[in-house]
Structure 1
């Protein structure tokens, strides 16, 4: 059991090597701008670590002074252009790389597993000729042969100012997007397309909400683990997690609708302090205090602001906005319940033994408090 406690502390303190920022989510961002004259401009922000063959090779490639003229990079950008399968009324849109900006970071930063060196690539194309009256239906798909980091946040901009943002995975086809606005009263898509797009969007945002907890939301994970360590009674634990859920749902929804906005410079250190508070309470009190449910609710309001910041960064679709928002929240809850289930799997057999507090709760809470206080200092700095 002593060895188990030592391993637990080592794993938690290993989080000190992670960045101070809370919401770790690697992704690919792609903006496609359709100009009135038929020109198409595409801006891509992507981590090329896997496509380059690893962090060492990616670092070596990033030293190129003329990326488009270096043979291996030119071939890589050519594969990227080919993997971005855009069609207009069924006709493929050919794209050509015209500029690239490689990350100028140290080799250590390239090798850091939770640092993502992003390369910017500009591509250009021209709309294929369209028959008179053709609606200009745009479909996008990203070939799995290229190592896109997911989710792929695709934004399509029409010349008249309309836009559509969707989260996709490689191999998935985007919903249809019209280059010309439909006549007044005419639906942009069929009812079947709308229903299909709605279910797809809901599933995508549920998946990304889950990923925001596991594996990419260590601060929220440690908060839930802190609740778990301080509560032996499973019913009380579920009550606390439910209180946390209700609270962060409130601020997540309010923030997503623009009714509440708090600067990240305030939210991020406060989230770290909330984690430390729960861990320190575990050390000071053998039993859950009567006021913990109220404290957890207050901290849940705070964590909801953190979830909202992640959603603002990635964007919510204009269509099915509420469905995507609720799906993301459900994904977050599934992630939190998975954390509880994993904690029970690892330590449930110890929870009713006499040495549980000394060998699991105390060292685990000490490690969480130390890491959370370190994050607080880093985020304030």
Structure 2
């Protein structure tokens, strides 16, 4: 009986060039690895039907007459049930007369839970700007996010306050208001976006007041209570005007994580491309370290405003970096330090993409550095999770040559095709 054929060496790495008959345990591990890879593939496919960067933007403002105005920029695809239905809503002659739209707006006003001095505000929709100028393909594409702008209003709060003017002494300042009550800005606002409405995450919240230059900027997820916002500061308790740095740190770490998993599929595919091209742990560590250093550098500079590149160039460039790495995997085994130079350059581009998102969301006043570092730490935590999962899957394969033939090469083809498709769509769109 002829001995079994030895596998092809994996990029000349002697430590991995071994052969042993496949045991049942080895086959079982490979089956689990294949199942995990199929799961990753399904998640990537599912992401093609999900909008990228379709986070909700919410601005709440206290106006000069102390009434409140809210402006929401929302993607209604999931509320509508499909992109086709969202497109139909947007092109109705009078969408607010449609029963399904009315029900959606009712859920929206109920889901917008904002309190003024612990009292709930009652919102009314005042104006809606639908994305009527967008083609149907934008509503059904996973790479476009038609947004609807919804304006809402809440009446001014009239608060009972002690009168400082004796009732038997007339005053010019008290002639137009009751001596016992007068309208004034709320002392504190707080917001929560409930699950009753499908707000896309993260939710970028900004609260401000015409009465002062104080504002609050936070990223939230559904059912997360915002920090308290004090429009005019807090008398007799100045320390409460500043949110603890620990809260900012915690919030922005979480936002960095969620920006990658599950939102940042372009970043995920780039890291997976590096995984599929490596043949030693040392290579992977060098490449990931260079990539991290590069995107951290441009993230900080661009977020601070030191450099600026239009997003219409950054987003297609990011897609091309994904395709480049995957095609390189198919053509030849990447050289460690040559790929490091390429990965560092591409990391600079990815950092610009991160900064664009952060600048759109805004930073909490006085906490720029804390928020920036926290966001970057969150990105690295998510990136490390991807690398560890990929390494575990890789190590379950007893035959390295089979890994390259069955996983690395087909995976690189899929990633290259996805990157090229995204590049074309982002350039054309």
| Maintained 8 Å contact 2:52/2:144 | no
Q: Which runs of 5+ in 2 are unaligned?
A: 1-29, 163-183
1:198-209 equivalence runs, <5 A: 198-209=245-256
Do the aligned partners of residues 187 and 274 (structure 1) sit closer, same or farther apart at CA in structure 2, a change above 3 Å counting? Answer: farther
| C-alpha separation in 2, matches of 1:373 and 1:57 | 29
| C-alpha separation in 1, matches of 2:398 and 2:334 | 13
| Maintained 8 Å contact 2:70/2:153 | yes
1:21-32 equivalence runs, <5 A: 24-32=52-60
| C-alpha separation in 1, matches of 2:99 and 2:250 | 40
| C-alpha separation in 1, matches of 2:95 and 2:46 | 35
Aligned counterpart in structure 1 of residue 67 of structure 2, from 29, 39, 43: 39
**Are 1:280 and 2:280 an aligned pair?**
no
| C-alpha separation in 2, matches of 1:41 and 1:153 | 16
Aligned to 1:118: 147
Aligned counterpart in structure 2 of residue 318 of structure 1, from 362, 365, 377: 365
Do the aligned partners of residues 125 and 244 (structure 1) sit closer, same or farther apart at CA in structure 2, a change above 3 Å counting? Answer: same
| C-alpha separation in 1, matches of 2:416 and 2:136 | 31
Aligned to 1:179: 231
Aligned to 1:137: 188
Q: Which runs of 5+ in 1 are unaligned?
A: none
Can you list the C-alpha shifts for 1:45-73, whole angstroms capped at 9, x where unaligned? 22334444555654554454333444443
| C-alpha separation in 2, matches of 1:280 and 1:221 | 16
Aligned counterpart in structure 1 of residue 208 of structure 2, from 143, 150, 157: 157
1:235-250 equivalence runs, <5 A: 235-250=282-297
Aligned counterpart in structure 2 of residue 100 of structure 1, from 105, 112, 128: 128
| C-alpha separation in 2, matches of 1:256 and 1:182 | 30
Q: CA deviation at 1:166?
A: 1.2
**Are 1:170 and 2:222 an aligned pair?**
yes
Aligned to 2:110: 82
Matched positions, count? 372
SS of residue matched to 2:157? coil
| C-alpha separation in 1, matches of 2:398 and 2:427 | 36
Can you list the C-alpha shifts for 1:95-142, whole angstroms capped at 9, x where unaligned? 211222334356665454565443322111222112448862112222
Q: CA deviation at 1:253?
A: 0.9
1:254-265 equivalence runs, <5 A: 254-265=301-312
Do the aligned partners of residues 164 and 364 (structure 1) sit closer, same or farther apart at CA in structure 2, a change above 3 Å counting? Answer: same
Do the aligned partners of residues 74 and 257 (structure 1) sit closer, same or farther apart at CA in structure 2, a change above 3 Å counting? Answer: same
Aligned to 2:240: 190
| Maintained 8 Å contact 2:47/2:142 | no
Do the aligned partners of residues 74 and 267 (structure 1) sit closer, same or farther apart at CA in structure 2, a change above 3 Å counting? Answer: closer
| Maintained 8 Å contact 2:67/2:157 | no
| C-alpha separation in 1, matches of 2:239 and 2:228 | 7
Question: What is the TM-score of this pair, normalised by structure 1?
Answer: 0.83
Q: CA deviation at 1:16?
A: 12
| C-alpha separation in 2, matches of 1:236 and 1:278 | 14
Aligned to 2:260: 213
Q: CA deviation at 1:18?
A: 4.4
| Maintained 8 Å contact 1:93/1:127 | no
Q: CA RMSD in A?
A: 3.5
Do the aligned partners of residues 37 and 212 (structure 1) sit closer, same or farther apart at CA in structure 2, a change above 3 Å counting? Answer: same
| C-alpha separation in 2, matches of 1:108 and 1:214 | 26
Can you list the C-alpha shifts for 1:148-169, whole angstroms capped at 9, x where unaligned? 2222221112113432211122
Q: CA deviation at 1:244?
A: 0.8
| C-alpha separation in 1, matches of 2:370 and 2:356 | 18
Q: CA deviation at 1:17?
A: 9.4
| Maintained 8 Å contact 1:15/1:371 | no
Aligned to 1:358: 405
